[in-house]
Amino acid sequence: MSDTSQTSSRQGSSLLELSERTKKRNAAEARFRGYGMTAIAIGLIMLMILVFTIISKGVGAFQQTFVTVQVELLADKLDKKGNRNLDDIKKVTTFGYSPLIRAAAETSVEQAGIATDLKSKDIAGLLSKNAAATLREYVVSNPNQIGDTVTFRFLAQSRVDGYLKGRVTRESIANDKNISVAQLDLVDQLVDAGVIQKSFNLAFIFGSDASDARPEAAGIGVSMLGSLFMMMVVLVLALPIGVAASIYLEEFAPQNWLTDIIEVNIANLAAVPSIVFGILGLAVFINYLHLPTSAPLVGGLVLTLMTLPTIIISTRASLKAVPPSIRDAALGVGASKMQAVFHHVLPLAAPGILTGTIIGLAQALGETAPLLLIGMVGFIASNAPDGLASGLLSPNSAMPAQIYEWAKRADPAFYERAWGGIIILLVFLITMNTIAVILRRRFERRW
Amino acid sequence: MPLLWLVLILIAASIVGFFLGRQRALHTADGNPRDLHSLPSYYGHNVAFTGLLPALIILVIWVLVQPIIIDNRVSNLIPSTAIPENSTLGLVMSDVRRVADGLDHAVSEGSLSSERASALQADKTDVRALLGESGIAVGNDVRPEILSAAQKYRKINHVGSSVMTALVLLIAGGGFIYAYSVTHKDFRARNIVERGVLGLLILAASLAILTTVGIVLSMFFETLNFFSLHSWKDFYLGTTWAPNFRGDSDLSILPLLWGTLYISVIALLVAVPIGLFAAVYLSEYANNTVRSFAKPLLEILAGIPTIVYGLFALLTVGPALVTFFGQGNNGILGVEWMAGATSVLTAGVVMGIMLIPFVSSLSDDIINAVPQTMRDGSLGLGATKSETIRQVVIPAALPGIVGAVLLAASRAIGETMIVVMGAGAIAKFSLNPLESMTTITTRIVSQLTGDTDFASPETLVAFALGLTLFVLTLGLNVLALYIVRKYREQYD
């Protein structure tokens, strides 16, 4: 026994002692395994960085700074004739309201017991340029309030908002015309006095987009409606067409050249770059059929063509999963082939079809590139549609297009909006995918 | 909106037809459904479909064909002398269409009576100012021949629409009456309806072909227009991209192709090793717990919309790279290699992250398809697990993996939002990955957004770029599918 062990140790092939070569091979094994783990780790870290970036940068958009001021609605400024005639009141433009706001801003600083050297114009400059329009809107809808003193919560200017959120600092505004260090000092004092406060920003979720100069007033609500109308078009068109095409290909299609061409086409369409669908939409729907530019209807049509392959592929998979015995049983009791498919196979495949459709819709909801070409970017989506026809045909934006629009603008305050918009978009996508997963888990049948 | 009304009328009529047909069938059987050949609802469907479908098909064809015929008829009216230098018939026709739309708009707004609109004469009235009042901007002054062509255009358009409405209603009415009259208890309604439904199913399936044809045609004709204005040699072989909206632009695809391929290569350099190793680890090493949480998490990366990656590139990765490679002495490395946040590296890295799950899940499927017996054989001969993977599994899966990489490359070439936001807008040949470069998709977006004039080569070039992109990605996909399919046959 000891002899053999000595012999083998001489030859370097003991089972208990690793030879150089085995060590090397084991090290290579460990390294290889390490590479794999590193790869997974990199992927997951990237995902974490992405999620962290989105949340940390976007969560600020849901908070907004407001300034509480008491505005005296002076009758001699707003209603010079004193007859409370709505047409006369409407003649006063937003410029006519700015003196009131200036006065109100100055009074509220005084009331807070703050001494400042700033002029009233600079104090009112802490408010959003939206304030005058908000005030005018209020007065026009409540003309009997003229003469009273009303408490308003105006949006603060985006620099003030940025200062409270840490985006704007005293150093960063050295060359900024919109705000001065003295104004920031005043902001600090007003925050202590409770005049300036941060609170939840519902207007970001439900509001409309605003022009370049008013990032604080921009919201994603109107483009959300645009996306909603597009998804309606996609659902109404893609689901029936996709299901019909899948039923034909899966249940009825004979093996011939036409079927082959259709199959090859569907496979290829699934891989065509989305921008090409945008070119198709521009050339066919807008240039040829003269449908209105920027309309959610056109966006929906383009996205329908884009999602059809996804829906067809998943529908075919779920039709295929229904066992032939179901069809045979239906045919056996005298149903026609069509009846067997529509009365028995289709209902059994419905959960799978629905899941595939929801995933296709989620994909369409996040798609941006084709929308750029049909003009859903580049204007301010400010008016919410007031009905089905205007929702489909009047120009609108869509959520991803709105995010892109914000990312293009020069003011960094819009970047926060863009990240915030992404949070909302992702909430929609996560919800849709969760519903799809739940549907699949709940209704999936194993035959 | 008369077209919508027409469709609604048809739908309402078919609903009424359904009930009438069913009732008549039951009536002929004296109210006993067992005497009918088919179930009562089939008779209703027969009446509804026979009226509705032919009318709808005629309607769709008419709507699609009418613009072509009108364009042909009207463009014959424009004498070749009326086409100015360095312009085309297409440009003049788009003017005609704009004037005609403007007149329509003015009439519908009520600022112009329809008689006056057809009697306008360009040398007597300033049509441009007239249209400007109702909010339609016309580029040039409206010349007499354009105005008369526009009036003709309107006239044919109106006649066409009324004939269409009449014809469609007639066909629908005829269909309903015929179907209603043949409804009888012995009529084989189910067979007819099922044949009709089968036709609809075939139609839906053919939409895939129609889409492809639409894509190719929509780009092909505009590309031909482009090549009639700009030499194809310069487009495919020239070396400068410098669009100039006053005309006389250098429009060559090569610098754009270079940027596209450079970014795609960087993306693949990121995605392929990570994706491949992740796939190998997941399919060969990971236990079920790791697999069940790492795989879905990685696949989340594929479900994130590209606009998110674009924003990530523009606002996070780009500035991060600048703090490494730029900003003089304030940067971490203290070098001045990178001026702005947009660069080939920015776009490439972010696109690589996007493609990781794409490569990993495709490779995972392919690696799993390698038969277990091959692994067992290798392990039985004493190879370690990693040796088995490197020398047996990967070579066996190689064609499939190559296919997956090609599919990823095609995805990278066609990707738009990441490069629009992360790559920049300067077309040049450069090897420096820290410079900003531009891609085919970026230029398509920039040439087709904003104010576009569909008669200038600067706009039309986008269609030529699109067609090239389509052919390129299609070629890669077909190649990838071919390779994958060929491989699969070995083990099935």
Q: What is the pLDDT of residues A254-308, one digit of tens each?
A: 988 888 888 888 888 888 999 999 999 988 888 887 788 888 999 999 999 999 9
pLDDT exceeds 80 at position B77: no
Alpha helices in B143-230 (DSSP H): 144-182, 189-229
Q: Single out the residue of A174, A178, A175, A165 nearest to residue A214, CA to CA.
A: A178
Burial class, A291, CB count within 10 angstroms (exposed 0-12 / middle 13-18 / buried 19+): middle
Give CA–CA dist B330/B334, Å, rounded: 6
**Averaged pLDDT, B68-81:** 77
For A361-372, what is the HEC assignment?
A: HHHHHHCCHHHH
Residue B133, pLDDT score = 65
Q: Using 50, 70 and 90 to split pLDDT, how confident is the model at B170?
A: very high
CA atoms within 13 A on the CB side of B463: 27
Q: Taking a C-beta distance cutoff of 8 angstroms, is the pair B311, A53 a contact? A: no
Q: Single out the residue of B370, B357, B358 nearest to residue B284, CA to CA.
A: B370
Q: If you measure CA to CA, which chain B residue comes closest to A304?
A: B211
Interface of B with A in 336-355 (CB under 8 A): 353
CB-CB neighbours of A161 under 10 Å? 25
Residue B69, pLDDT score = 82
Burial class, B7, CB count within 10 angstroms (exposed 0-12 / middle 13-18 / buried 19+): middle
The DSSP call for residue B147 is H
Residues in A touching B274 (Cβ below 8 Å) = 39, 42-43
A-B C-beta contacts closer than 8 Å: 254
**Averaged pLDDT, B107-127:** 69
Helices (H) and strands (E) counted in chain A, each on its own, are 21, 3
Give CA–CA dist B364/B491, Å, rounded: 16
CB contact under 8 A, A57 and B315: yes
Left (φ > 0), alpha (ψ -120 to 50) or beta: where does A310 sit?
A: alpha
Q: Name every residue whose Cβ is closer than 8 Å to that of residue A164 and which is 6 or more positions away in sequence.
A: A65, A156, A187, A191, A196, A198
Point out which residues pair with A154 in neighbouring strands.
A67
Residue B132, pLDDT score = 66
CB contact under 8 A, B385 and A309: no
Tokens matching residue B385: 């697990």
Give CA–CA dist A343/B322, Å, rounded: 62
B384–A contact, CB cutoff 8 A = yes
Phi first, then psi, for residue B451 (nearest 5°) are: -75, 115
Q: Taking a C-beta distance cutoff of 8 angstroms, is the pair B332, B409 a contact? A: no
CB contact under 8 A, B277 and A39: yes
Q: Taking a C-beta distance cutoff of 8 angstroms, is the pair B185, B35 a contact? A: yes
Q: If you measure CA to CA, which chain A residue comes closest to B98?
A: A290
* pTM score, whole prediction: 0.86
Q: What is the pLDDT of residues B417-470, one digit of tens each?
A: 999 998 888 888 888 888 888 999 999 998 888 767 777 888 888 999 999 999
Compare CB distances from B470 to A36, A272, A375 and report the shortest one's residue: A272
Looking at per-residue confidence, does B3 or A367 come out higher?
A367
pLDDT exceeds 90 at position B110: no
Give CA–CA dist B391/B393, Å, rounded: 6
Cα separation of the two ends of chain B: 57
Mutate to test the interface with A, among B260, B272, B281, B410 (most CBs of A within 10 A): B281
Compare CB distances from B294 to A44, A46, A245 and report the shortest one's residue: A44
Tokens matching residue B410: 């095609």
CB contact under 8 A, B300 and A277: no
Phi first, then psi, for residue B460 (nearest 5°) are: -65, -25
Q: Taking a C-beta distance cutoff of 8 angstroms, is the pair A61, A201 a contact? A: yes
Q: If you measure CA to CA, which chain B residue comes closest to A399?
A: B307
B227–A contact, CB cutoff 8 A = no
Point out which residues pair with A66 in neighbouring strands.
A155, A197
B53–A contact, CB cutoff 8 A = no
> B202 to chain A, minimum CA–CA distance in Å?
6
> A377 to chain B, minimum CA–CA distance in Å?
9
Residues in A touching B275 (Cβ below 8 Å) = 39
B444–A contact, CB cutoff 8 A = yes
Residues composing chain A? 447
**Averaged pLDDT, B135-145:** 65
Tokens matching residue A130: 């939206």
B431–A contact, CB cutoff 8 A = no
pLDDT exceeds 80 at position B5: yes
Q: Single out the residue of A92, A389, A390, A373 nearest to residue A381, CA to CA.
A: A390
pLDDT exceeds 80 at position A361: yes
Q: What is the pLDDT of residues A299-349, one digit of tens each?
A: 999 999 999 999 999 999 999 999 999 999 999 999 999 999 999 999 999
Q: What is the pLDDT of residues A231-251, one digit of tens each?
A: 999 999 999 999 999 999 999
Give CA–CA dist B23/B43, Å, rounded: 9
Q: If you measure CA to CA, which chain A residue comes closest to B420?
A: A369
List C-alpha distances in Å: B291 to A41, A56, A283, B383. 13, 29, 46, 24
> B250 to chain A, minimum CA–CA distance in Å?
22
Identity of the amino acid at A245? A
Residue A201, pLDDT score = 84
Mutate to test the interface with B, among A51, A247, A280, A319 (most CBs of B within 10 A): A280
Q: Single out the residue of A65, A245, A404 nearest to residue B313, CA to CA.
A: A404
pLDDT exceeds 50 at position A4: no
Compare CB distances from B311 to A261, A373, A407 and report the shortest one's residue: A407
**Out of A314-323, A352-361, B28-37, B334-343, least confident range:** B334-343
Residue A8, pLDDT score = 44
Helices (H) and strands (E) counted in chain B, each on its own, are 19, 2
> A32 to chain B, minimum CA–CA distance in Å?
6
Give CA–CA dist A202/A181, Å, rounded: 30
Residues in B touching A29 (Cβ below 8 Å) = 384-387
Q: What is the pLDDT of residues B204-232, one digit of tens each?
A: 998 888 888 888 888 898 899 888 888 88
> B131 to chain A, minimum CA–CA distance in Å?
19
Q: What is the pLDDT of residues B372-389, one digit of tens each?
A: 999 999 999 999 999 999
Residues composing chain B? 492
Burial class, B430, CB count within 10 angstroms (exposed 0-12 / middle 13-18 / buried 19+): middle
Tokens matching residue A44: 């997951």
Q: Name every residue whose Cβ is closer than 8 Å to that of residue A40 and which is 6 or more positions away in sequence.
A: B277, B278, B281, B282, B286, B294, B298
Residue B98, pLDDT score = 75
> A171 to chain B, minimum CA–CA distance in Å?
16
| Extended strands (E) in B360-455 | none
Residues in B touching A50 (Cβ below 8 Å) = 301, 304, 308, 312, 353
| Extended strands (E) in A231-294 | none
Alpha helices in B281-368 (DSSP H): 288-303, 306-312, 318-325, 344-368
CB contact under 8 A, A39 and B273: yes
The DSSP call for residue B143 is P
Q: If you measure CA to CA, which chain A residue comes closest to B300?
A: A47
Burial class, B484, CB count within 10 angstroms (exposed 0-12 / middle 13-18 / buried 19+): buried
Give CA–CA dist A303/A393, Å, rounded: 16
Mutate to test the interface with A, among B226, B272, B307 (most CBs of A within 10 A): B307
CB contact under 8 A, B473 and A275: no
Which three-class secondary structure state does DSSP give residue B326? strand
Residues in A touching B293 (Cβ below 8 Å) = none
CB contact under 8 A, A305 and B469: no
Which three-class secondary structure state does DSSP give residue B29? coil
pLDDT exceeds 70 at position B63: yes
Residue B135, pLDDT score = 61
B281–A contact, CB cutoff 8 A = yes
Tokens matching residue B484: 């994958």
CB-CB neighbours of A310 under 10 Å? 22
Average predicted confidence (pLDDT) for chain A: 85
Mutate to test the interface with A, among B157, B381, B416 (most CBs of A within 10 A): B416
Interface of B with A in 181-220 (CB under 8 A): 190, 194, 197-198, 200-209, 211-212, 214-215, 218-219
Q: What is the pLDDT of residues A86-135, one digit of tens each?
A: 777 777 777 778 888 888 888 888 887 777 777 777 888 888 877 888 88
Angle, vertex CA A64, rays to CA B313 and CA A186, nearest 5: 110
Mutate to test the interface with B, among A24, A37, A46, A289 (most CBs of B within 10 A): A46
List C-alpha distances in Å: A57 to A221, A423, B71, B347. 20, 10, 53, 20
Give CA–CA dist B150/B142, Å, rounded: 10
Point out which residues pair with A196 in neighbouring strands.
A67
